[in-house]
Chains A and B, each alone.
Chain A
Amino acid sequence: MQTPNWQRPDRRQLTWWESTYIPTLWGGVLGTSKHFFRNLNLHILHAFGLCRDIPAAATFQYPEQLRPLAMRARTRHRLTKREDGSPRCVACMMCETVCPARCIHITAAEHPDPNIEKYPAEFILNLGQCVYCGFCVEVCPEDAIRMDTGKLNIAEYSRGNMIYDKKRLMED
């Protein structure tokens, strides 16, 4: 059988001193201890109100301290409104057609204004199924649906609550 032509890692032989692992063990303890004492001293200084601009931890304290969102981050959807507060949507079914997760369901109805043909009598978006691809936003000819609410912490106690209707989508 032919040996496969793997690229062998370039490993050199360990010297005797290295093979006792003492230098690496010492280096490891030194490394973690350096972090420990640096952070401990910073925490103590912070408690006295000093050196507050040097952080003692690399983490974000999530519910109180949120990470900044990217400009083009796709967050929870909203329906934009006309000046009179009615939805901008004309129920053209583009988003419902393009949605790969099939989570949008629109029921169209005739709009009283003859300049606008239709409006969504019902606009149901099931966030439990949504994959946040953003196709609905891309495809909308009227700029009626956007994903710019900045809301990411969508958690509910039931699946039913994940289904957003027109009213909830227009709240933001």
Chain B
Amino acid sequence: MNDIAIKLLLSCGTLFLAFNIAGFLTWVERKQSALMQDRIGANRASIFGFKALGLFHAIADFLKMLSKEEFIPQGANKFLFNLAPYLSFVFAIVAFAAIPIGDQLIIGSRVIDLQAAHLNIALIFIFAMMSMGVYGVILGGVSSNNNYAFLGSMRAAAQMIAYEITMGAAIMGIVMVYNTIDLQTLVRAQGVYLLGGWLPKWGVFLQPLSCILFLTAATAETKRTPFDLPEGESEIIGYFVEYSGMKFGMFFLSDLIETVLVAALMTTLFLGGWQVPYLHPDGFSFPWGGHLALANGPVVLLGVLAFFIKISFFIWFLMTVRWTFPRFRYDQLMNLGWKILLPASLVNIAVTAVIIILLK
């Protein structure tokens, strides 16, 4: 009984965090782009005169979207048209279940893994969910009975396939180094220290090329600038051109949720997840000789905090990329995916394999 309650609490907590970070990102995106362009950003929405730096704009947008007309175009496949945004949204959310947000929390005799779903195939699960999310995009475009939406979804399909292969291949390096696809085990394996205890054994230090390739491919998966060909705001509007109201909002939000997911995946795979440098389960042990004993509670809390700081860093980076680079041309996008990233990731696998065999 207690086990179920704890699992439920953990799942709800993860869901709550994923939703709220994504909602918060609408504000972050506005404000960060404003600061990057010497502007102020949205700051007019107020409740009783309190503006809270424009945070209420997220709520105002939500209310606006809810109160708008749900429009279904003539000749559209109603069932698929209504289904598409939910597919896109749900699969982006579900993938969070397998992301470990903290170490094992020990309460009394009970050991709680801070991971909503403790899967030993977590990595494959997340990849499966991210691939399923593409169906929402494709169905949304195809069922709209609109040529531009159709074009957008075809672009999305081609782009997702091209970059998903690179993503999978880039990850193989990490899987080979840590010898696991269980994310909690993978994060725990990153808590080892190299070079006489100075350098944490994080993915970014062992697999720098794989890190760059995965980041590029994952940015393409989120369908945001510079990889926003499926949307192409200035030319075809994209796969959601016929959607209105909250259904459009769900497509919009699932992009942001995917951004958070990519940031979380990058953190888990390459920046040691919830690992704090030099923090061991019994407290800090510094390579220069100091030791600071800590109980289990503070250690886990620090880990969760570190996880969110690392996520924030990647979100900041993804936003910076989104507001700095112009969009690719379609042939450039395909060239980058098939001719540069995929061969590079295959070379990375081969080199990693050779090094692993030589080190044995």
A residues with a Cβ closer than 8 A to B are 25, 28-29, 31-33, 35-36, 39-40, 43, 56-59, 61
Contacts and interface: CB of A to CB of B under 8 A. Distances in A.
24 contacts: A28-B324, A28-B325, A29-B320, A29-B321, A29-B324, A31-B324, A32-B323, A32-B324, A33-B320, A35-B35, A35-B36, A35-B37, A35-B38, A36-B32, A36-B36, A39-B36, A43-B35, A57-B38, A57-B39, A57-B40, A59-B38, A59-B39, A59-B40, A61-B40
Contacts of B34: 57
Interface in B281-321: 320-321
B286 to A, nearest CB: 30
Nearest to B38: A58
Given A59-B40, A61-B40, A36 B35 contact: yes
A58 B39 contact: yes
Candidate in B32, B38, B320, B325 with the most chain A CB atoms within 10 angstroms: B38
A92 B35 CA distance: 56
Contacts of A29: 320-321, 324
Contacts, number: 37
Contacts of A25: 325
A86 B36 CA distance: 55
Contacts of B35: 35-36, 39-40, 43
A43 B38 CA distance: 11
B201 to A, nearest CB: 27
Interface string B22-57: 000000000010111111100000000000000000
A142 to B, nearest CB: 45
A57 B42 CA distance: 13
Nearest to A39: B35
Leading 7 A-B pairs by shortest Cβ distance: A58-B38, A39-B35, A32-B36, A32-B324, A36-B36, A28-B324, A57-B40
A35 B320 CA distance: 11
A59 B34 CA distance: 10
Interface of B: 32, 34-40, 320-321, 323-325
A40 B41 CA distance: 12
* From B35, B37, B39, B323, residue with most partner A Cβ within 10 Å: B35
Contacts of A32: 36, 320, 323-324
A36 B320 contact: yes
A98 B39 CA distance: 43
A59 B320 CA distance: 21
Given A35-B37, A43-B35, 8 more contacts: A31-B324, A32-B324, A35-B35, A36-B32, A36-B320, A39-B36, A59-B38, A59-B39
A39 B32 CA distance: 10
Contacts of B32: 36
Nearest to A43: B35
A28 B34 CA distance: 16
A59 B42 CA distance: 12
Contacts of A58: 38-39
Contacts of B325: 25, 28
B114 to A, nearest CB: 31
A25 B216 CA distance: 13
B30 to A, nearest CB: 13
A144 B99 CA distance: 76
A31 B323 CA distance: 11
A61 B36 CA distance: 17
Nearest to A63: B44
A43 B35 CA distance: 9
B319 to A, nearest CB: 9
A56 B32 CA distance: 13
B38 A39 contact: yes
Contacts of B323: 32
A84 B38 CA distance: 52
Contacts of A36: 32, 35-36, 320
Contacts of A56: 38
Contacts of A35: 35-38
Contacts of A31: 324
Nearest to B325: A28
A73 B325 CA distance: 39
B326 to A, nearest CB: 9
A172 B187 CA distance: 73
Contacts of B320: 29, 32-33, 36
Contacts of B39: 57-59
